């Protein structure tokens, strides 16, 4: 800059007639120099100001476009500057995403092809609550979960529009997933289960997936339940081949050849699935349309047949073929018995729910611990259960 200004001045000097040069330089040179420095100063200030405002505008633009990205992906929470593995494996900070089922199931079906995780991973149990409205037994579950925060996560699917009231200190707080209508016996009930599985799959730490209802309670302390599930070679899904009108009688030949009569299975909807099987459920496009079309009330009930049949066809060797959730059908009728405080005693939990010695198989060994959960319990039973939880349930 200085060099150019310098050469300019020398050029100008050169234009002055030689004979006048002496005179000029003698009187005007200090004045001209002063002017030159003044111009130089103004120029530098101008350049500085323009450079500064350019940088400011640029930073401003970058900042506002980052803000736009954040608005588009609210589930990613804070956008990280670095692109480490951390940002990929971190579970969504908010469960309220804007994906529809097609998008959600696609995203949840993304599976790592390398078995060994290159980071410290503590496998968790995802407890998935399929409910209509409130969770009246939540205080009992809160006691059950307490102190095991690293080992579980919670997801709630309830009727759309239902707004739960959990305190921020509750493990149920903010665990609601975007929900849709689910009716007993219809395939939209299975869709709600798939939606729960898909949301839970987005957290890479979830390894086992347990479906429970608002009328369910745990029958053992957390440690015992975690050990039982995590050390089992099989997933717990009721699946049996039943003759008669309520079993094979519900099969429709339209389902062949994907599902033949001999493949038809029945079982309770309350399951425990491994991560592999959970992905299978979410990504199924072969059996789901068949059930959608041919398994409808009142000749067939999707929630009693879809998963047992599909899982038996795909992965029979991974199934224990029994459920972990105790229920009492002995009173007859379309609904199982619901227990209230008067009927809940130590004897009831030991004898009715506890099971006789050797009444089921665990990893091929006979055991009397067949059930980890039980239903149904009346909302009014919660205080009685809380008052006696250690005596009845061991926590
Ligand atoms: C979800 O959105 C995608 C893209 O708009 C669309 O193709 C798909 O049909 C939608 N799925 C459902 C279940 O609405
Ligand atoms: C859970 O219950 C078992 C007995 O069934 C007991 O040995 C264990 O200490 C209990 N664990 C906790 C954390 O309370
Ligand atoms: C059902 O039966 C047909 C005809 O025997 C056979 O081709 C088909 O593979 C069977 N489907 C399954 C799922 O086994
Ligand atoms: C569950 O049933 C399937 C057949 O439906 C069978 O292949 C599998 O071995 C059974 N699982 C156990 C643990 O017995």
SS (H, E, C) 293-305: HHCCCCCCCHHHH
Q: Give the CA distances from residue 146 to residues 114, 141, 153, 171, 347, in Å, rounded to whole numbers and listed in that order.
A: 33, 8, 12, 9, 26
pLDDT at residue number 72: 43
Virtual CA dihedral for 255, 191, 268, 175, nearest 10 degrees?
A: 170
Please check whether residue 148 lies inside any domain of the structure.
Answer: yes
Q: Give the CA distances from residue 310 to residues 145, 262, 266, 277, in Å, rounded to whole numbers and listed in that order.
A: 32, 12, 10, 11
Q: For residue 160, what is the domain's CATH number? A: 3.90.550
Full-model pTM: 0.82
> Ligand 1 atom closest to Cα of 100?
1
312 Cα to the center of ligand 4, angstroms:
8
Please check whether residue 189 lies inside any domain of the structure.
Answer: yes
Ligand 1 atom 8: the closest Cα is on which residue? 102
d(CA 94, CA 355): 40
pLDDT at residue number 2: 42
Instruction: Identify whether the C-beta of residue 327 lies closer than 8 Å to the C-beta of residue 267.
Output: no
pLDDT at residue number 351: 83
Residue 235 CB less than 6 A away from ligand 4: no
pLDDT at residue number 50: 56
| Residue that has been written with the tokens 């745990």 in this structure | 218
Domain that holds residue 213: 94-109+121-323
pLDDT tens-digit readout, 33-90: 667 667 777 666 665 655 555 544 444 443 433 333 343 444 444 554 567 888 888 8
Please check whether residue 87 lies inside any domain of the structure.
Answer: no
Counting ligand 3 atoms within 8 A of each CB, the residue from 253, 255, 257 with the most, and so the one to mutate, is 257
| Number of domains making up the chain | 1
203 Cα to the center of ligand 2, angstroms:
28
Please check whether residue 268 lies inside any domain of the structure.
Answer: yes
264 Cα to the center of ligand 3, angstroms:
12
pLDDT at residue number 92: 87
Please check whether residue 284 lies inside any domain of the structure.
Answer: yes
Please check whether residue 79 lies inside any domain of the structure.
Answer: no
Sites in the chain below the pLDDT cut of 70:
1-31, 33-34, 36-37, 42-82
CA angle 293, 276, 362 (to 5 degrees): 105
Please check whether residue 61 lies inside any domain of the structure.
Answer: no
pLDDT tens-digit readout, 111-165: 999 999 999 999 999 999 999 999 999 999 999 999 999 999 999 999 998 999 9
Please check whether residue 70 lies inside any domain of the structure.
Answer: no
């Amino acid at each position: 800059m200085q060099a150019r200004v310098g050469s300019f001045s020398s050029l100008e000097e050169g234009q002055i007639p030689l004979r006048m040069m002496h005179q000029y330089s003698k009187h005007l040179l200090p004045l001209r120099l002063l002017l030159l420095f003044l111009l130089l100063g103004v120029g530098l200030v101008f350049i500085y100001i323009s450079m500064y405002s350019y940088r400011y505008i640029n930073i401003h633009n970058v900042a506002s476009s980052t803000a736009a990205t954040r608005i588009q992906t609210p589930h990613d929470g804070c956008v990280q500057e670095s692109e480490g593995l951390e940002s990929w494996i971190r579970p969504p900070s908010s469960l309220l995403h804007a994906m529809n089922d097609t998008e959600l199931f696609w995203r949840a079906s993304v599976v790592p092809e390398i078995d060994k995780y290159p980071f410290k991973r503590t496998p968790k149990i995802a407890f998935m609550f399929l409910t209509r409205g409130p969770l009246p037994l939540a205080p009992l579950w809160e006691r059950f979960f307490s102190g095991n925060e690293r080992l579980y996560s919670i997801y709630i699917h309830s009727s759309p529009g239902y707004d739960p009231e959990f305190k921020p200190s509750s493990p149920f707080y903010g665990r609601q997933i975007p929900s849709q209508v689910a009716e007993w016996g219809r395939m939209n009930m299975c869709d709600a289960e798939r939606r729960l599985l898909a949301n839970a799959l987005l957290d890479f730490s979830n390894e086992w997936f347990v479906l429970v209802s608002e009328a369910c309670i745990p029958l053992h302390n957390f440690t015992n339940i975690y050990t039982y599930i995590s050390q089992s070679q099989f997933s717990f899904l009721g699946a049996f081949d039943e003759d008669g009108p309520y079993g094979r009688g519900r099969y429709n030949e339209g389902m062949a050849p994907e599902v033949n009569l001999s493949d038809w299975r029945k079982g309770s909807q309350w399951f425990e699935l491994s991560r592999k099987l959970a992905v299978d459920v979410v990504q199924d496009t072969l059996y789901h349309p068949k059930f959608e079309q041919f398994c409808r009330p009142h000749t067939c009930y999707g929630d009693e047949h879809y998963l047992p049949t599909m899982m038996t066809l795909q992965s029979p060797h991974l199934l224990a073929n029994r459920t972990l959730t105790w229920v009492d059908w002995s009173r007859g009728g379309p609904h199982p018995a619901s227990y209230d405080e008067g009927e809940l005693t130590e004897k009831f939990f030991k004898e009715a729910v506890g099971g006789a010695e050797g009444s089921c198989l665990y990893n091929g060994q006979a055991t009397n611990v067949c059930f980890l959960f039980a239903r149904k319990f009346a909302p009014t039973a919660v205080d009685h259960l809380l008052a006696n939880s250690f005596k009845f349930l061991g926590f």
